[in-house]
Structure 1
Amino acid sequence: MKPLHLRVLIADDHPAVRIGIESTLRESNAVTVVGAARDSTEMMELLKLHDCQILVSDYAMPGGLHGDGITLFSLVRQRYPLLKIVVMTMLDNPGIIHSLLDIGVPCIVNKADSVSHLLPAVHAAYANGRYLSPSMAEIAARTDPGRTNTQPHATLSKRELEVVRMFVSGLTVTEIAERLHRSKKTISTQKGSAMTKLGILRDMDLVRYGMEMGLTNTSAVPPTQGLTALPWH
């Protein structure tokens, strides 16, 4: 029987993390690390150069020409449909986890979990399986009660989704209240309820989720406003 030999590409914007991932993978005789990228630009170039089977990548890698997160992994899936992807991240946002699963990335490891989960995730990815490290599995199980819609924000009410769209598009709670002719307290409550349903704790994570899910509504923002001045509080 021919021994298993996996060719893996690493992508992470932190040098120490790249070294740690490579060191862990090299513990297995079945894995060869063919390269390491620090952003999406280097990642896509290395994918052109190397015939690798598995990509182990961070979720958030700012600065690259191809972006990061869902946008990047969707592009990789489109260009390299046979490439298996393992995502490592510190983010524990249920919306992001389910979005990764929805685009066909079923192997996700939380960097806060033991590094021992990396190799099993790599092998599961190669075998077309699913592997979520303990904290990721807990979040996915807690927030996925048999969804009938693939988007996490499908659980939001019409008014909650309306508020989220306007907030993500650059409007403050006060401005949203004025435009919708509701009280500031009502808008704040609807925004908070939406964040609870999505499992999001911080405004900046809500903005990031909304942008990745295409929830921006530029018609709600006057020409002098926009995503260059996002509401962080």
Structure 2
Amino acid sequence: MHGRQVNLVLADDHPVVLLGIKSLLQALPEVNIVGTAANSTELFAILNSAPVDIVLTDYAMPGGAFGDGMEMLVRLQSRFPKVTLVVLTVLTNPALLSKIVQIGVQGLLNKGSDLNEIPLAIKRVADGYKYLSRSLTAMLAEQSTRPEVDKIALLSKKELEVIRMFLGGMSVQAIAEHFRRSSKTISNQKRMGMQKLACANDAELFQLNSQVGLTNIAPPEIAK
């Protein structure tokens, strides 16, 4: 950090995790923690009200007004392009991890790793470098050797059914009525399926379909 103090925001929906990380970073004289957030609503409020250099955020924080996961990260980059993003995750899906790196996140850490890795990651990204958790490096290397079609095998039968019907032109509400499920259930299955396919939005989902033909794959082939 070369003696320069950085303003940092912590975001995680687990209070114990938040407290543990905060105590670690408070020991660093170069880090000034300007606030903590439990969801994207609180995170964006802090970013709109105070100068922030780095955001250290959990990947999955449901319930916020600005979403979570890939949707939240893309919105953060769009609204606050000068803020450095470091993501904490329990994800082990190589395709999704690769997507997180590709959109320009500067740091990616595995929640299962040693917490002492976090101060090192903050120091590295503050100095302008990227930091990838050692435990995630092998997963990303694996992804580089896997074809796009392998992502489909990660889907549950229900997730594939929902995505195929959506790509076929049905709305979430129409799919819910067809299966006699709630719109929320269908929306969550679509969202989880898109995360597994590393699609940040509907446009990317349609693009992937044009590449691998999702609508031509019968659910029983990967039924779980």
Measure the CA separation in 2 of the matches of 1:59 and 1:81: 18
Q: What is the aligned residue count?
A: 182
Deviation at 1:204, TM superposition (A): 9.0
Any idea what the Cα deviations from partners look like across 1:149-192, whole Å, max 9, x if unmatched?
xxx8x6228xx86x96x96464499x9xxxxxxxxxxxxxxxxx
Measure the CA separation in 2 of the matches of 1:119 and 1:172: 40
Deviation at 1:212, TM superposition (A): 3.5
Pair 49,171 (structure 1): closer, same or farther in 2 beyond 3 Å: closer
Pair 94,25 (structure 1): closer, same or farther in 2 beyond 3 Å: same
Measure the CA separation in 1 of the matches of 2:194 and 2:85: 25
What is the letter of the counterpart of residue 10 of structure 1?
A: L
| Aligned match of 2:148 | 155
What is the letter of the counterpart of residue 49 of structure 1?
A: S
Pair 60,79 (structure 1): closer, same or farther in 2 beyond 3 Å: same
Q: What does 1:1-233 correspond to in 2, within 5 Å?
A: 3-145=3-145, 155-156=148-149, 168=159, 170-171=161-162, 206=193, 208-210=195-197, 212=200, 214=202, 215=205, 233=224
Determine if contact 2:96/2:195 at 8 Å carries over to the other structure.
Answer: no
What is the letter of the counterpart of residue 20 of structure 1?
A: G
Measure the CA separation in 1 of the matches of 2:76 and 2:163: 34
Measure the CA separation in 1 of the matches of 2:88 and 2:191: 20
Determine if contact 1:40/1:61 at 8 Å carries over to the other structure.
Answer: yes
Deviation at 1:3, TM superposition (A): 2.2
TM-score under structure 1 length normalisation: 0.68
Pair 141,44 (structure 1): closer, same or farther in 2 beyond 3 Å: same
Determine if contact 2:163/2:193 at 8 Å carries over to the other structure.
Answer: no
Determine if contact 2:160/2:193 at 8 Å carries over to the other structure.
Answer: no
For the residue of structure 2 that corresponds to 1:115, the secondary structure is: coil
What's the RMSD between the two structures over aligned residues? 3.3
Deviation at 1:22, TM superposition (A): 0.6
Determine if contact 1:167/1:207 at 8 Å carries over to the other structure.
Answer: no
What is the letter of the counterpart of residue 18 of structure 1?
A: L
Measure the CA separation in 2 of the matches of 1:95 and 1:131: 18
Determine if contact 2:84/2:106 at 8 Å carries over to the other structure.
Answer: no
Any idea what the Cα deviations from partners look like across 1:91-121, whole Å, max 9, x if unmatched?
1211221111111003111010001110121
Q: Give structure 2 stretches of 5+ with no counterpart.
A: 166-189, 210-214, 216-222
Q: Give structure 1 stretches of 5+ with no counterpart.
A: 146-151, 176-202, 221-231
Determine if contact 1:60/1:69 at 8 Å carries over to the other structure.
Answer: yes
For the residue of structure 1 that corresponds to 2:135, the secondary structure is: helix
Measure the CA separation in 1 of the matches of 2:158 and 2:105: 28
Measure the CA separation in 1 of the matches of 2:158 and 2:73: 25
Deviation at 1:17, TM superposition (A): 0.9
Any idea what the Cα deviations from partners look like across 1:61-99, whole Å, max 9, x if unmatched?
000011111110111101111100110111121122111
TM-score under structure 2 length normalisation: 0.70
Measure the CA separation in 2 of the matches of 1:142 and 1:172: 25
Pair 78,207 (structure 1): closer, same or farther in 2 beyond 3 Å: closer
Measure the CA separation in 1 of the matches of 2:163 and 2:64: 29
Measure the CA separation in 1 of the matches of 2:139 and 2:195: 19
More helix per residue: 2
Determine if contact 1:100/1:106 at 8 Å carries over to the other structure.
Answer: no
Measure the CA separation in 2 of the matches of 1:22 and 1:52: 16
